[in-house]
Amino acid sequence: MTPRKEEENQMIRDERREQILQAALRVFGHKGYAPAKISDIAATAGLSHGLVYHYFKSKDQIFAELVKIALEGSSGTFKTAFEAPGSPWERIRTMTEMIVPAAYEGIGPYYFNIMFEAMISDAVPQEVKDMVIKNAPYYEYLVPLIIEGQKEGQVAEDNPLQLATAYLSLIQGMAIMLLQTTDPASIPSPEIILRLLRRSDYQEPAREYNESNLGLFGPIELVPFPLKYSSRSTASGKPTILISSLELAVEEGINIYKIVETGVGGAQMIAKVRAEDWHPLAVESFGSNGKRLWQIVYEDNRVFFDIPERKLQKTMDLKGECYDVNTLFYLFRAFPFEKKKMVEFNLVMDGRGGGSAGIFKMYLQELGREEVAISGTTYDCFKLEMGVRGVPAVFAGKYKVYFWYTATEPRYLVKYEDKLGGLTELIENQ
């Protein structure tokens, strides 16, 4: 048996540690800090007690790590919104629209409950409480924004500290309540939260989308043969084989790209996008028996999710130019390579990996050229990095991922890798 390389061992350690933290997040979120036990965490993670103790010395250490993650994520959100361009109200709106999708979907409510426990539970170690008091970013960024907004006649004339407390309490309280219900109708919109701070006579200007981002991705040169990939997801860690193809077609009088990924046994994912600008039209997943498992439909500036496996059925409004997470491997073939450019775009997420379903601001930048050796073949590639812009990565599935594309046309994906162990590699290109 060939021994594993050190990087493979480290990847396994990182995945196991993440598995324990995600299990603990749910245990603490549902039970609270005091009643939760290591045995509960081990059972939820599907691991032995001993293995949990191999990675963490105690329940206290696990809880402290989760609080640290929550603080880092929330600090990034508040700081990003505070430093964004625009009026005080525009920045408060940005802040709210970043927080709300993260707070009420996926793992967001669990993190809010973790922070609530850290502040009020006598059982939580004092050093964890001190960490929250010292590092919580809420008042550092929100109160000055409220004061600035009051000076410009945009924010209600009340005590700034009390307004900030009410704002944060409303968001946190609703997030904790959502742990007790799965009713999508109970999820509040950012507008409900914003009404608390908006001055009654303030007329908010109409919002315009930045036209510089329109048409960011356009037509590409098609690869005239199917591509075969070995793909290992972050969740399972087990590699699967995918056959990928992209074709140009005409439906209802418009040119579309039809993306087909076929897995073992014949299961398929089929996505359709508008060829001129990659605007998504529909994404569907089918089992090996041909039965549809889930679908995402885009229509009239709205997106409808129907994904039973994630208990997700909802409709969301789209703002600006949006792209679907299921089409990224193909979409990024249209990136403006060779210019060392960074672009921002809106990405529609479907709740995979325990993250939030929603629309998130992302960045994509070219890091340079690299040679990638796979299965005895060396490819000259451009390397791209994608990450979350603004929304804390902890709530968005820890997105920081890398893509390698051939340096010559027709460009196609050679390798994809994320920080949690997801890996896709080209194993056959004709």
User: Could you report the per-residue pLDDT of 352-393, keeping only the tens digit for each?
Assistant: 765 667 788 788 888 889 999 988 899 999 999 888 765 444
pLDDT at 206 over 70: no
pLDDT at 106 over 50: yes
Q: What pLDDT is stored for residue 355 in this prediction?
A: 60
Higher pLDDT, 304 or 76: 304
Q: What pLDDT is stored for residue 161 in this prediction?
A: 92
Where in 287-395 does DSSP place strands (E)? 292-299, 302-307, 312-317, 322-324, 342-350, 357-374, 377-388
Q: Which CATH class is domain 212-428?
A: mainly beta
- The rounded distance, in Å, linking the Cα atoms of 94 and 86 is 10
Q: What pLDDT is stored for residue 256 in this prediction?
A: 93
Higher pLDDT, 246 or 422: 246
Tokens standing for 416? Answer: 């994809």
pLDDT at 310 over 60: yes
Q: What is the pLDDT of residues 279-296, one digit of tens each?
A: 999 999 999 888 999 999
Q: Per DSSP, what are the bridge partners of residue 413?
A: 405
Q: What is the pLDDT of residues 10-39, one digit of tens each?
A: 767 777 888 899 899 889 988 889 999 999
The total of other beta-carbon atoms located within 10 Å of residue 115's CB is 20
Q: What pLDDT is stored for residue 186 in this prediction?
A: 63
Q: What pLDDT is stored for residue 350 in this prediction?
A: 83
pLDDT at 107 over 80: no
- The rounded distance, in Å, linking the Cα atoms of 331 and 75 is 31
The mean pLDDT value for 187-216 works out to 71
Tokens standing for 142? Answer: 């929100």
Q: Delimit the CATH 1.10.357.10 region(s) of the chain.
A: 9-194
Tokens standing for 425? Answer: 């590699």
pLDDT at 213 over 50: no
The mean pLDDT value for 73-81 works out to 77
Q: pLDDT exceeding 70 applies to what percent of the chain? A: 85
Higher pLDDT, 352 or 145: 145
Higher pLDDT, 390 or 69: 69
Where in 54-205 does DSSP place strands (E)? none
| Average of per-residue pLDDT values in the chain | 83
Q: Per DSSP, what are the bridge partners of residue 405?
A: 382, 413
Cis peptide before 410 (omega within 30 of 0): yes
Q: What is the pLDDT of residues 44-62, one digit of tens each?
A: 989 898 899 999 999 999 9
Q: What pLDDT is stored for residue 101 in this prediction?
A: 66
Q: What pLDDT is stored for residue 6 in this prediction?
A: 63
Tokens standing for 116? Answer: 């609530």
Q: Per DSSP, what are the bridge partners of residue 240?
A: 231
Q: What is the pLDDT of residues 404-423, one digit of tens each?
A: 999 998 899 999 998 767 78
Strands 312-317 and 342-350: unpaired
Q: Which CATH class is domain 9-194?
A: mainly alpha
The mean pLDDT value for 139-164 works out to 92
Q: What pLDDT is stored for residue 420 in this prediction?
A: 64
Q: What pLDDT is stored for residue 413 in this prediction?
A: 95
Higher pLDDT, 342 or 392: 342
pTM of the full structure: 0.58
- The rounded distance, in Å, linking the Cα atoms of 247 and 173 is 48
Higher pLDDT, 234 or 295: 295
Q: Delimit the CATH 2.40.360 region(s) of the chain.
A: 212-428
Find the angle CA(70)-CA(72)-CA(78) to the nearest 5 degrees: 100
Residue with tokens 């709530």: 395
Q: Report residue 381 CA to chain centroid gap.
A: 26
Strands 342-350 and 322-324: parallel
**Among candidate residues 255, 204, 253, 20, the one with its CA nearest the CA of residue 96:** 204
Per-residue confidence at 152, pLDDT binned at 50, 70, 90? very high
